[in-house]
Structure 1
Amino acid sequence: MSNQYPIINGAESFYFEGNRAGVLIIHGFIGTPQAMYPIGKAFADAGYTVCGPRLKGHGTAPEDLEKYTYQDWIDSVEEAYNWLKERCDKIFVCGLSMGGTLTLYTAAKYPLAGIITVNAAVELPAMYENLKERFIADDGPDIKKADAMEITYEKIPVKSIKELESLIKETKENLEKITCPALIFSSEQDHVVSPDNAQKILDSISANSKEIVTLKESYHVATLDNDQGLIIEKSLHALQSWEEDGEL
């Protein structure tokens, strides 16, 4: 469907073959796997099998994104999940922003060994409400670190925002079905997704083992921001702990 729109250089999916524990890495709305690559590479370096898919309509052009529904994004995630399932005995999922929403969606549906969310949305950001035009301008990546760069779109299709809203609504309705361990990262200052979302996730999921880690030096795209090292350190600790005993 998107052959006329080439993939932006650097926005491709990534895969690393490793051990029998797999990690599915999911990028955010209008973002690309590039924002998650440092996290994915760190997991791969620790021995995990890692899959970071490019969600349909992302990493090409806003006009391409406009063609797809939230079910198409779910399909992208499920294709990656099945790729990991063929290679791994247990699967963890880690996602940023809408990728965090998709992580929660996946955890409510499949038997995961644990999840990691970074500034995940379970409520539509206020800036996306009551829009009438075809596209809205994007202000650029919400990153505190001065020299950080994210591959993203300069404008957003309003149709795609409505799809995001539908995904958030469906995910929110099923949060209580999540029973696997959860590590929830939340930036203290986030200009896209309200930090309140982290507490709503914590309160709504049924996991016995769940924790919020506050990121004090990062904005929304925390995986490329000042707390990247902290996210990697805490996440690796969680993955190793969950592998051993299912606890944080």
Structure 2
Amino acid sequence: MSVGCLCIHGYTGSPEEVQPLVDFLKNRTDWELANPTLPGHGEDLDLEGHYYQEWIATAELALLGLVERNDTVVLVGFSMGGMIAAYLAAKYDIERLVLLSAAGKYISISQMLKDIGEMVMDAWKGALGSNELFKRYKKKMKDTYLFSTIQFMKCVQFTRPYLGQVHCPVLIVQGELDGMVPRKAAEFLNEEIPAEDKELLFLKQSKHLICHGDDRDELCQKVLEFLG
């Protein structure tokens, strides 16, 4: 039986956000893996003029290709990609769904302040240029337009009602140190999704970029066990 696996990255991100998981699955399965770049996204952001409907349509077309070529299809979505994946799981006959740091609700002010505090400490030590979190935030603030931020909000608003129509088995994974989408978001997803087969996993050492966190080995193994 052939298996197709679609992985969807997050807002202002690129396939690289989920690439460690994609590589892990590629090395251990014979699945067809798709990890598309949403319009306007990628290493060089060009979000101006791109609508959320384009992001959803790109993921949906990739999914339809996998459905056509495989007996079974599974979905993995990170951050905003998690909300798009949930929407697709509600709309199509999907075998299993994995939601990573899915941006359904809430923003963690406290963790963001901790992250900023770490940046300030690095700045005091003269090491801010080597702070990876600072470099990522700086790039995103520079490249993100107000228009596209509104599109992100519209994407979440559009996809959120479909959580109640997801009935396939679901694995929800959340980093406890996530400064963008904190613990309450995963609990919200767990409450909203009516699927009987649900599992909620918190990773103690992971921030928002969960596939690149200190728990990534545990994460990858868990996803493989769940999808396999």
Give the TM bin, normalised by the shorter chain.
Answer: 0.7 to 0.9
Residue aligning to 2:84: 102
> What 5-or-longer segments of structure 1 have no aligned partner?
1-18, 128-138, 140-145, 241-248
Residue aligning to 1:5: none
Which amino acid counterpart does residue 207 of structure 2 have in structure 1?
Y
1:36 maps to which of 18, 22, 38? 18
Quickly say closer, same or farther: Cα 1:214–1:124, change in 2 above 3 A.
closer
Structure 1-normalised TM-score? 0.76
Which amino acid counterpart does residue 50 of structure 1 have in structure 2?
L
Residue aligning to 1:50: 33
Conserved in 1, the CA contact under 8 Å of 2:174 and 2:182?
A: no
2:100 maps to which of 109, 114, 118? 118
The SS at the match of 1:86 is: helix
2:64 maps to which of 74, 82, 98? 82
Conserved in 2, the CA contact under 8 Å of 1:178 and 1:207?
A: yes
2:4 maps to which of 17, 22, 27? 22
Residue aligning to 1:224: 212
> Quick one: distance in 2 between partners of 1:237 and 1:101?
22
The SS at the match of 2:225 is: helix
Residue aligning to 1:91: 73
Structure with bigger helix share is 2
Determine what percentage of the aligned residue pairs are the same residue. Answer: 30
> What 5-or-longer segments of structure 2 have no aligned partner?
110-118, 120-130
Residue aligning to 1:143: none
Which aligned pairs between 1:169-248 and structure 2 lie closer than 5 A? 169-240=157-228
Structure 1 residue 38, shift from structure 2 partner: 1.3
Structure 2-normalised TM-score? 0.83
Aligned residues: 204
Which amino acid counterpart does residue 52 of structure 1 have in structure 2?
N
Which whole-Å deviations, capped at 9, do the CAs of 1:18-38 have from their partners, x for residues lacking one? x61111001111110011111
Q: CA RMSD in A?
A: 2.2
> Quick one: distance in 2 between partners of 1:188 and 1:124?
14
> Quick one: distance in 1 between partners of 2:206 and 2:10?
16
The SS at the match of 1:66 is: coil
The SS at the match of 1:186 is: strand
4+ residue segments displaced more than 4 Å: 146-152
Structure 1 residue 86, shift from structure 2 partner: 2.2
Conserved in 1, the CA contact under 8 Å of 2:13 and 2:43?
A: no
Residue aligning to 2:151: 163
